[in-house]
A and B are shown apart, each in its own frame.
Chain A
Amino acid sequence: MKVKVLFFASLREQVGRAAEEIELPADVSTVGALRAHLVARGGAWRTALADVRRLRAAVNQDMAPPEVALRTGDEVAFFPPVTGG
């Protein structure tokens, strides 16, 4: 299963990229599992994505809690809590 992953704001700066296509291993099928998969890369990935209190996610442009299931072709975004307005 392949998904498109986007990163915004401080997360984008920390991981050094705005977007990436990722081919997911068979056991990675939820938002939470994708986060853990990225954290396992270590280094800046761990720093940026390890603290779930400072992390939000969206699937296909809707806010998504960790248990949301992923499907091939999904657009998944990770970002810090929002600060607009």
Chain B
Amino acid sequence: MKIAIQREDFDAGAEARALSDGNAEVGAVASFVGLVRERNDGAAVSTMTLEHYPGMTEKAIRTIVDEARVRWQIIDCTVIHRVGELRPTDQIVLVAVASGHRGDAFAACAFIMDYLKTQAPLWKKEATPEGARWVDARASDDASAARWAPAPTKDRAA
């Protein structure tokens, strides 16, 4: 498992390939990349600055991945989240999950993203023509995380 919080950009293709490299058990790799949009809530975004809580961010993401492992068969997983100043079209976040089959890979990837958006201590500040503003948490993000049913018992995941 790889969890990284970094200022630098990442190569999503290389990260996804690394998850299956030399491991013939892997039958599926699902990945998600989040990008900086040029418009948010009706305003043009010139830059987006991401702040985080060093230490807790990594710990929170590890907890989310551990929770995903209880629910689905995951062979390996990479989560990279960038911090600092980003611009429209820049990559923000990568979640990539390797599994035996696509169902587990797709579901675990979506679950990790949904929980990352509500549990990992990261905050976005946008620069717009009207000035800088902190992005408001969305009720729809809480709803996305809440749609996942409580974790099944461990024996199902085994």
Q: Interface of A with B (CB < 8 Å)?
A: 6, 8-10, 58, 61-63, 77, 79-85
Write the nearest CB–CB distance from B24 to chain A, whole angstroms.
32
B50 interface residue per 8 A CB criterion: yes
26 residue pairs of the A-B complex, CB under 8 angstroms, read A8-B121, A8-B123, A9-B125, A58-B121, A61-B55, A63-B60, A77-B53, A77-B56, A79-B121, A79-B123, A80-B123, A80-B137, A82-B119, A82-B123, A83-B122, A83-B123, A83-B135, A83-B136, A83-B137, A84-B50, A84-B93, A84-B117, A84-B121, A84-B122, A85-B92, A85-B122
Q: Which chain B residue has the least Cβ–Cβ distance from A10?
A: B134
A32 to B42, CA, bound (A): 36
Bound Cα distance from A61 to B120, whole angstroms: 10
**Which residue of the partner chain B has the closest CB to A6?**
B53
In the complex, how many angstroms separate the beta carbon of A57 from the nearest chain B beta carbon? Answer: 11
User: Does B103 touch A at the CB level, under 8 Å?
Assistant: no
**Residues of chain A contacted by B108 (CB below 8 angstroms):** none
Q: Report the number of A-B residue pairs with Cβ-Cβ less than 8 Å.
A: 72
For A81, list chain B residues within 8 Å (CB).
Answer: 118, 137
Contact A62–B59 (Cβ < 8 Å): yes
Contact check, B53 vs A8: say whether CB atoms are below 8 A apart: yes
Complex: how many Å from CA A8 to CA B55?
13
B56, A9: Cβ atoms closer than 8 Å: no
Q: When chains A and B are docked, how far (Å) is the Cα of A62 from the Cα of B138?
A: 22
Task: Scan residues 20-78 of chain B and give those whose CB is less than 8 A from a CB of chain A.
Answer: 34, 50-53, 55-56, 59-60
Residues of the B chain whose Cβ atoms lie less than 8 Å from the Cβ of A82: 117-123, 137
Q: Which residue of A lies closest to B112 (CB)?
A: A85
Q: 10 new A-B pairs (CB below 8 Å) besides A80-B123, A85-B113?
A: A9-B51, A61-B53, A63-B119, A77-B53, A77-B56, A83-B123, A83-B135, A84-B81, A85-B34, A85-B141
